[in-house]
């Protein structure tokens, strides 16, 4: 802590308590270089992009920042945090803290965000679906699904399915395919059935620290009852929360995103990948496992293991990938962002895929699937560009597609 910290204005105290790793800094260390605002995909639409937010807050204009609609426009891609030369905790620190403060002060978040919070609070998922329908995706699935909430048993992999993979129609194909892949790999796996609730990463990013804490408490009690070697997730956001934030509450579990889990079994996969998938595939690096953890090679290794796949790279890839816009609550804020001049990020991305003549845009995050499919329609690419999760491509190659069940 510098001498400056000792004199922090009382109204900015709350920003000094943001989640910090020893190597991360607060806004007091900002040198106003503008790298953040320049990197932000929505920066030019914000009234207060990150640099200006810090400037205003430090010069007594905190109130204006809290009341600005741009407070709700960060979609959590972490490009700013990644590039900040001072290492300031922006995405995971400043933004959630500002939002939390705004709500504590009675400022109402956008209505669609309120509804998402209330849905999570009441039903454990942001979609407002009944918790009792959490396993509906597994109806008529020909591989057995071990419901650990009904009968506790030790497993190798506790698969936390996630909200969108459980409830959202388009995502269910991916969910079912993953169930088949896990079984084909001989993994002993189980799910939490109707007891599963969201991990809460997006709620935390959007300032609902209290909601996040209540989810940590719930999930910890649930997970502590189970015996497993590791948790595997489809959702990069949930991965991040479990890896980085749950341990702060004493809830620490071995956790992997499915990309690294599959990449670790690459030889086994190669042996099973019998059907070629003839396609030119552009892989979209997701933000929460890609950019944040430098996880760029494992998904490419999985794709390379599929015979017939011609892997191409888009203009912005790896560290510089363009966010689909869904993170950090973005799924619930398209209207808000559009109303304040934000462009549809997903559209930019699908055009990049088309520019490298990709047949398939491959994704690895539940939000990306529907966002890119919608964007493809809007960009007039429906028919020429397919959007598929890595899992779907893999399942096709393993010949594990949807079958007629008796």
Partner 1 sequence: MSSQDVLIVAETSRGQLADVCGELLGAARALAALTGGKVVAVLPGADGSVLAGGLAAADRILLADAPLLGGFSPEPYVAVLENIIRAEGPRAVLVASTSVGLDLAPMLGAKLAAPVVNGCRAVSVADGALQVTASFYGGKLLADLTVTAAPAILLLAPGAFRPTPEKGAAAVETWQMPSPLAAGAVVFEEMILPEGGDVDLTQQEVVVAVGRGIQQQDNLEVVEELAAALGGAVAASRPIIDQGWLPATRQVGKSGMTVKPKCFLALGISGAPEHVEGMKDSGLIIAVNTDPAAPIFEVAHYGVVADLLEVAPALTQAIKGA
Partner 2 sequence: MKIAVVVRQVPDLIEPVEIAASEKTVDLGMATFRANEADDFALEQAILLKEKSGGSVAVVALDFGDVQNTLYTAAAKGADRLITIPYDADLPPAPKEAAAAYAQVIRGLAPELVLVGSYAHDELESTLAPLLARELGLPFVGVVRGVRPAADGGTAVVFKEFPAAALAKMTVKLPALLGILGADQPPRYVPVSRIRALMKTAKIEEQEAAVPDASSAVTVRRLYHPAAGQRAEILEGPPADVAAKIAGILKEKGVCK
Binding site for partner 2 (CB under 8 A): 100, 103-104, 106, 108-109, 111, 114, 117-118, 121-123, 128-130, 132, 207-211, 213-214
In angstroms, give the least distance from the CB of 392 to partner 2. 18
- If one asks whether residue 136 binds partner 1 (CB under 8 A), the answer comes out as no
Residue 211 interacts with, from partner 2, partner 1, none (CB under 5-8 Å by kind): partner 2
CB of 260 or CB of 370, closer to partner 1: 370
Contact with partner 1 (CB under 8 A) among 112, 142, 313, 315: 112
| 336 near partner 1, judged by CB under 8 A | yes
Interaction partner, residue 280 (partner 1, partner 2, none; CB < 5-8 Å by kind): none
Residue whose CB is less far from partner 1, 104 or 130:
130
Residue 112 interacts, among partner 1, partner 2, none and using kind-specific CB cut-offs from 5 to 8 Å, with partner 1
Q: Is 382 in the site for partner 1 (CB under 8 A)?
A: no
CB of 373 to partner 2, least distance (A): 12
Q: Smallest distance from the beta carbon of 110 to partner 1, in angstroms?
A: 8
| Minimum gap (Å) between residue 53 Cβ and partner 1 | 24
Residue 227 binds what, of partner 2, partner 1, none (CB under 5 to 8 Å, by partner type)? none
SS (H, E, C) the chain: CCHHHHCCCHHHHHHHCCCCCCCCECHHHCCCCCHHHHHCCCHHHCCCCHHHHHHHHHCCCHHHHHHCHHHHCCCCCCHHHHHCCCCECHHHHHHHHHHHHHHHCCCCCCHHHHHHHHHHHHHCCCCCCCHHHCCHHHCCCCCCCCECCCCCCCEEEEEECCHHHHHCHHHHHHHHHHHHHHHHCCCCEEECHHHCCCCCHHHHHCCCHHHHHHHHHHHHHHHHCCCEEEEEECCHHHHHHHHHHHHHHCCCCCEEEHHHHHHCCHHHHHHHCCCCCCEEEEECCCHHHHHHHCCCHHHHHHHHCCCCEEEECCCCCHHHCCCCCCHHHHHHCHHHHHHCCCCCHHHHHHHHHHHCCCCEEEECCHHHHHHHHHHHHHCCCCCCCEEEEHHHHHHHHCCCCCCCCC
319 binds, among partner 1, partner 2, none (CB under 5 to 8 A by kind): none
Point out which residues bind partner 1 (CB under 8 A). 111-112, 334-336, 338-339
């Amino acid at each position: 802590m510098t001498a400056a910290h000792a004199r922090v204005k009382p109204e900015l105290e709350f920003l000094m308590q943001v989640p910090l790793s020893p190597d991360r800094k607060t806004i007091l260390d900002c040198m106003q270089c503008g790298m953040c605002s320049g990197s932000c995909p929505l920066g030019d639409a914000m009234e207060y992009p990150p640099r200006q937010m810090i400037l205003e807050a430090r010069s007594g204009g905190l109130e204006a920042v809290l009341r600005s609609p741009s407070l709700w426009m960060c979609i959590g891609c972490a490009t700013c945090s990644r590039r900040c030369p001072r290492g300031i905790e922006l995405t995971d620190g400043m933004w959630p803290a500002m939002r939390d403060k705004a709500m504590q002060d009675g400022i109402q978040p956008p209505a669609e965000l309120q509804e998402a919070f209330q849905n999570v609070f009441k039903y454990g998922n942001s979609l407002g679906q009944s918790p009792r329908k959490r396993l509906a995706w597994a109806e008529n699935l020909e591989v057995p699904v071990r419901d650990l909430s009904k009968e506790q048993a030790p497993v190798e992999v506790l698969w936390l399915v996630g909200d969108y993979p459980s409830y959202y129609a388009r995502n269910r194909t991916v969910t079912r395919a993953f169930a088949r892949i896990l079984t084909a790999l001989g993994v002993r796996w189980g799910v939490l059935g109707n007891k599963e609730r969201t991990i809460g990463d997006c709620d935390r990013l959007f300032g609902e620290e209290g909601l996040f804490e209540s989810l940590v408490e719930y999930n910890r009690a649930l997970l502590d009852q189970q015996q497993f070697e590791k948790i595997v997730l489809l959702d990069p956001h949930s991965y991040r929360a479990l890896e980085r934030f749950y341990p702060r509450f004493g809830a620490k579990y071995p956790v992997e995103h499915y990309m690294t889990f599959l990449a670790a079994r690459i030889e086994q996969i190669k042996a099973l990948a019998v059907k070629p998938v003839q396609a030119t595939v552009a892989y979209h690096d997701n933000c929460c496992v890609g950019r944040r953890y430098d996880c760029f090679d494992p998904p490419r290794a999985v794709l390379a293991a599929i015979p017939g796949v011609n892997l191409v790279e888009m203009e912005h890839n790896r560290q510089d990938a363009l966010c689909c816009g869904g993170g950090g609550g973005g799924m619930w804020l398209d209207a808000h962002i559009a109303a304040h001049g934000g462009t549809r990020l997903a559209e930019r991305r699908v055009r990049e895929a088309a520019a490298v003549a990709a047949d398939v845009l491959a994704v690895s995050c539940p939000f990306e699937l529907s966002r890119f499919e919608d964007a493809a329609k809007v960009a007039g690419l429906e028919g020429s560009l397919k959007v598929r999760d890595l899992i779907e491509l893999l399942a096709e190659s393993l010949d594990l597609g949807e079958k007629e069940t008796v």
